[in-house]
Chains A and B, each alone.
Chain A
Amino acid sequence: MSEDHHDHKPTGIGRWLFSTNHKDIGTMYLWFSFLMLFIGGGMAMIIRAELYQPGMQLIEPDFFNQMTTLHGLIMVFGVIMPAFVGFANWLVPMMIGAPDMALPRMNNMSFWILPFAFGTLISTLFMEGSAPNFGWTFYAPLSTTYGPASTDYFIFGVHLMGISSIMGSINVIVTILNMRAPGMTLMKMPIFVWTWLITAFLLIAVMPVLAGVVTMMLTDRNFGTSFFEASGGGDPVMFQHVFWFFGHPEVYIMILPSFGIISQIIPTFSRKKLFGYSSMVYATSSIAILSFIVWAHHMYTVGMPLAGELFFMLATMLIAVPTGVKVFNWTATMWRGSLTFETPMMFAIAFIILFTIGGFSGLMMSITPVDFQYHDTYFIVAHFHYVLVTGALFAIFAGAYYWLPKWTGNMYDETLGKIHFWISLVSVNVLFFPMHFLGLAGMPRRIPDYALQFTDFNQMASIGAFVFGGIQLLFLYIVIKCIRGGEKATDRVWEGAEGLEFEQLPSPAPFHSFTEAPEVK
């Protein structure tokens, strides 16, 4: 037995298959997410191509429904969530001065479940009959009594994703609570670590609920139960309550880590400490707690009692307070700073403004009587794409540009990064802003064909979509180019960067870092 050298890397495919290294697993998560971005994005291109003009030109209505369903599921569970787990894997140990994640073998398993989960989900496209075609929210009874045969594969895939997420979040919690370097008290942790700690608790709380709802679907479909079947004494509305009890915390699972990333980047390029660190922590916690008592605002039109509608309206409006605090804090961090505008900062500023626009439309739809008009229209589609694309995805871009030099040891190509930013910024707004108008003018979501008065804004959106989708190939090129070489990054990478990963580790970060705990002042 040879003694392991401290920078010994296993070689070949085994390095990846059997990896217990947080950096390699983080890399695999990020590449997986990137691959899924192109698959889910390809589906979005098919949707936007069909919607380019009225009438059915390219695909059949049922295939359109399969595309919207799989696009949503892949983007939520296959892109945004794994990307954030990838960031957590790479960064949490380096930010808290730990040598690795606390449970490295479980880390390996939680990643390697994902290709099987998504393989199962995507395989439904090649099965006889239809792939899942009931929307990513898979409301019963459309997904149970009326679901295609492939629905059972979808259920199995969702179970696998849930197992993966739960193991991942246990790992994050154990790592953060047990493996901090001496002196790294909770209130000294970088905000990114805080947001992930809270996200991980949300995941553990709601992933079993998702597993429960798909299990009830499974038994309804195959074993004669009637959880959601009205004719058997069941309740289709209960499906929505259970689904959204998972679903609303889920949307914060997809945004809290972006808050963390933005809270790391804005101070660096403002050369100024984050404004209101502790209020950021409290605001994040408040958002997480509130996320458990607002779920029914997704279902105002199901015919709830007045008292229920009032409660969920007021609780939902409350979320605007802590979310506002975060936006104000970022603004105050930039105020009287010394700003420079490298690509991560550009994406971070775009995030603040565009995410806030998504937040405003969210506030508008919290108002129950008005939401009756917005519900299930393109206004909703515009809203959640502003928070998830110009929100979560832009934060992922910002974070990738910000930490790529630390990960690879090379600077990315700044000119290409700026081109990627500007084209993305313009096209994403051409893509999603007109959807506000479409929704207000009365276009329902999830329709493959539309009345003529919706033509122009749909064409704008489609053109924006093709440009936005296409320019992400440039991002792929930038990432590959950065991995393969480029100007060497300094250890600190950015003039204003703070935190253990920039102050105490070289660039690129070695395969094993902090084998001895650093001293934290």
Chain B
Amino acid sequence: MFVSTELFAAAQMDLTPGVTAISQEVYELHTLILWICVIIGAGVFGMIFISMFKHRKSKGAVAANFHDNMTVEVLWTVIPFLILIGMAIPAAKTLIRMETPADDAEVTIKITGYQWKWNYDYMHEGFDFFSNLAKSSRDVIYAENNKDREGINYLLDVDNRMVLPAGKKVRFLMTSNDVIHSWWIPAFAVKKDAIPGYINEAWTIVPEPGVYRGQCAELCGKDHGFMPIVVEVKSAEDYAAWVSEKKGAAMTAAAGDNKVWTKDELMAKGEQVYAQCASCHMADGSGIPAAGFPALKGSAIATGPVAAHLDMVINGSKVNPAMAAFGYMSDSDLAAVITYERNAFGNNTGDAVQPADVKAARQ
């Protein structure tokens, strides 16, 4: 009956203690409160079960006549109150530590939620990138055989991981481009909403290198379940190497916005970028018309005038809120994906849209 009994022994049942000092504290608080509840529960349920077995009419029990007792009533009001104070003190201490602003952070990353991906902006390094659900997961969402989903960290893997340096204080600034999302890594005990118009703050210090996974925790629309978060913590040296590599890539991308591309280059890059469109318009461009996601295959926009197509992708739809504005993407990405949409799925318009065209359309 169970398709994956071999996983059962490994199934996690308790909160993770996590890997940071804060997450350990949170885990200890959780454990403390859980055991207080278990003890109180055992006491109360024990009394109920004793009544049920000893004070039953079929055993000849005759009802006593008491229905008031000031002493016990005061006791069972005051004692729980004192227990609560005992819980509140350590809880408040941990909370204060968590909420102390990380003004001394060595790395600051702005996290922006999008439907349905994350953008990580390394503000002081001068590069940013998007983090989408990994293709390996997306390709098997509708797979019939559960085996196809094994061994790929199904729904918990991304194309571009956030990378952090081990042992350093990192500040996260959360915001959103559209609806409310929530950025959560259980192992850090960090969960904070990404809200349009707000910048929320959280911080962490991860002592050891490793890979940590989480998911968006606030319902954000159709693909809420498909926007995982993966953080890779590297040693200080590896992190520095990664940063300089990313900086170089950012320069190359900027250069791409200023050059003229061949149609084949645009199509190749466009196919990669199109992965972000495929969750609604589907990989074959057929869309899900019944749910309000139109087909691109043969559509009036994708086969009509280029200007209208540029306007739709850059500024979003004026009538269908599901079609967001994608103007935040780079000129070359937009040029590539629009070229792809105009030539893939049998659209074959033959158009090649250049980054310069996108730049012009933005004005």
Interface residues of A (CB under 8 A from B): 53-56, 60-63, 65, 129-130, 133-135, 139, 141-142, 145-148, 230-231, 234-237, 270-277, 279, 301-303, 306, 309-310, 313-314, 317-318, 320-321, 324-325, 327-328, 331-341, 349, 352-353, 356-357, 360-361, 363-364, 367-370, 372-373, 375-377, 437, 440-442, 444-457, 459, 463
Does the CB pair A65–B196 fall under 8 Å? no
Residues of A within 8 A of B222 (CB): 61-62, 65, 133
In the bound complex, do residue B178 and residue A368 qualify as a contact, i.e. CB atoms below 8 Å apart? no
A353 touches B30 (CB 8 A): no
Q: Does the CB pair B33–A309 fall under 8 Å? A: no
Q: Which chain B residues numbered 80 to 124 have a C-beta less than 8 Å away from chain A?
A: 80-81, 84, 87-88, 91-92, 94-96, 98-99, 115
Which residue of chain A is the closest to B62 with respect to CB atoms? A338
A235-B197, A376-B191, A452-B150 known, 6 other contacts, Cβ within 8 Å: A325-B73, A325-B76, A360-B41, A367-B91, A369-B189, A440-B14
**Which among A145, A236, A445, A463 is the interface contact of B195 at CB below 8 angstroms?**
A236
Q: Are B29 and A142 in touch, CB under 8 angstroms?
A: no
B220 at the interface (CB under 8 A from A): yes
Minimum CB distance partner of A232 in chain B: B197
Q: A142-B179, A236-B195 are in contact. Are A335 and B47 (CB under 8 A)?
A: yes
Chain A residue at smallest Cβ distance from B225: A447
Roughly how many angstroms separate A334 CA and B197 CA in the complex, as a whole number?
Answer: 55
B91 touches A452 (CB 8 A): no
Q: How far is the CA of A442 from the CA of B51 in the complex (A)?
A: 38
Q: Which of B135-143, B261-269, B346-354 contacts A (4 or more CB under 8 A)?
A: B135-143
Asked whether, in the complex, the Cβ of B192 is within 8 Å of the Cβ of A332, the reply is no
Given contacts A447-B225, A453-B11, contact A276 B73 (CB under 8 A): yes
Q: What is the interface of chain B, defined by CB distance below 8 A to chain A?
A: 1-5, 7-8, 10-16, 25-26, 29-30, 33-34, 37, 40-41, 44-45, 47-48, 51-52, 55-58, 61-69, 72-73, 76-77, 80-81, 84, 87-88, 91-92, 94-96, 98-99, 115, 140-144, 146, 149-150, 153-156, 174, 178-180, 182, 184, 186, 189-193, 195-198, 200-201, 214-226, 288, 291-292, 321-322
Shortest Cβ distance from residue B210 to the other chain A in the assembled complex, whole angstroms: 16
Looking at the assembled complex, report how far the CB atom of B171 sits from the nearest CB atom of chain A, in whole angstroms.
Answer: 14
Quick one: which of A129, A324, A339 contacts B80, CB cutoff 8 A?
A: A324
- Hey, which chain A residues are within 8 Å of B33, CB to CB? 363-364, 367, 370
B191 and chain A: residue at smallest CB distance: A372
Q: Which chain A positions have C-beta within 8 A of B61?
A: 336-339
Instruction: Give 16 pairs: A residue, B residue, CB < 8 Å, sorted on A.
Output: A54-B146, A146-B221, A272-B63, A321-B80, A331-B44, A336-B51, A339-B55, A353-B48, A356-B45, A363-B37, A370-B33, A373-B30, A437-B12, A441-B13, A450-B155, A452-B154
Interface contact A313-B141, CB-CB below 8 Å? no
CB-based contact B67/A452 at 8 Å: no
Give chain A residues whose Cβ lies under 8 Å from the Cβ of B288.
Answer: 60, 62
Bound: A333/B115 CA distance, A: 54
Please determine whether A441 and B44 come into contact, CB atoms closer than 8 angstroms. no
A327 and B13 alpha carbons, distance in the complex (Å): 28
Q: Report A105 CB to chain B, min CB distance, Å.
A: 40
Q: How many pairs, one residue from A and one from B, have CB atoms within 8 Å of each other in the complex?
A: 317
Given A303-B198, A317-B88, A318-B84, is A376 in contact with B77 using a C-beta cutoff of 8 Å? no
- Beta-carbon nearest neighbor of A306 in chain B: B99
Chain A residues within an 8 Å CB radius of B65? 272-273
Of all chain B residues, the one with the shortest Cβ separation from A359 is B37
Complex: A400 Cα to B7 Cα, angstroms = 42
Chain B residue at minimal CB-CB distance from A305: B99
Q: How far is the CB of B243 from chain A (nearest CB, A)?
A: 28
Contact of B225 among A147, A236, A448 (CB under 8 A): A448
Min Cβ gap A24→B in Å is 36
Contacts of B190 in A (CB 8 A): 372
Instruction: Please give, as numbers and ranges, the residues of chain B lying within 8 Å of A370 by CB-CB distance.
Output: 26, 29-30, 33, 91
B55 pairs with A336, CB closer than 8 A = yes
Whether the Cβ atoms of B142 and A55 lie closer than 8 Å is: yes
Contact, CB under 8 Å: B62 / A236: no
Residues of A within 8 A of B216 (CB): 444
- The smallest beta-carbon distance between B228 and chain A, in angstroms, is 8
Given contacts A272-B67, A340-B56, contact A313 B88 (CB under 8 A): yes
Whether A456 pairs with B88 at a CB distance below 8 angstroms is no
B149 engages A452 (CB within 8 Å): yes
Q: How distant is the Cα of A112 from the Cα of B9 in the complex, in angstroms? A: 53
What residues on A are CB-neighbors of B87 within 8 Å? Answer: 317, 367
Q: Which of B5, B149, B217 contacts A444 (CB 8 A)?
A: B217
B143, A55: Cβ atoms closer than 8 Å: yes
Give Cα distance in the complex from A340 to B59, angstroms.
10
Per a CB cutoff under 8 Å, which of B11, B12, B72, B217 touches A376? Answer: B217
Q: Which of A275, A372, A456 contacts B68 (CB 8 A)?
A: A275
Residues of B within 8 A of A377 (CB): 217
Bound-complex Cα distance A314 to B81 (A)? 11
Known A62-B222, A275-B67, A302-B193; judge A142-B180 contact (CB<8 A): yes
B81 partner residues in chain A, CB cutoff 8 A = 321
Residues of A within 8 Å of B198, CB to CB, are 230, 236-237, 303
Known contacts A236-B195, A440-B14, A459-B2: A146-B321 contact under CB 8 Å? yes
Across the interface, A459 reaches (CB within 8 A) one of B1, B154, B225, namely B1
Hey, which chain A residues are within 8 Å of B45, CB to CB? Answer: 353, 356
Q: Given A331-B51, A444-B217 in contact, is the A373-B26 Cβ separation under 8 Å?
A: yes
The 8 Å CB contact of B37, one of A62, A336, A341, A364, is: A364
Contacts of A231 in B (CB 8 A): 196-197
Report yes or no: B193 in contact with A60, Cβ–Cβ below 8 A. no
Kindly list chain A residues whose C-beta atoms are within 8 Å of the C-beta of B182. Answer: 301, 375-376
Knowing A303-B198, A440-B14, A452-B149 touch, does A129 contact B67 (C-beta < 8 A)? Answer: no
Closest Cβ of chain A to B195, distance in Å, is 6
Report whether A328 and B57 are in contact in the complex, using a CB–CB cutoff of 8 Å: no
Given A370-B30, A373-B191, A449-B225, the answer on whether A321 and B77 have CB atoms closer than 8 Å is yes
Instruction: Return A498 CB to nearest CB of chain B, in Å.
Output: 12
Task: Write out the residue numbers on chain A whose beta carbons fall within 8 Å of the beta carbon of B11.
Answer: 437, 441, 453-454, 456-457
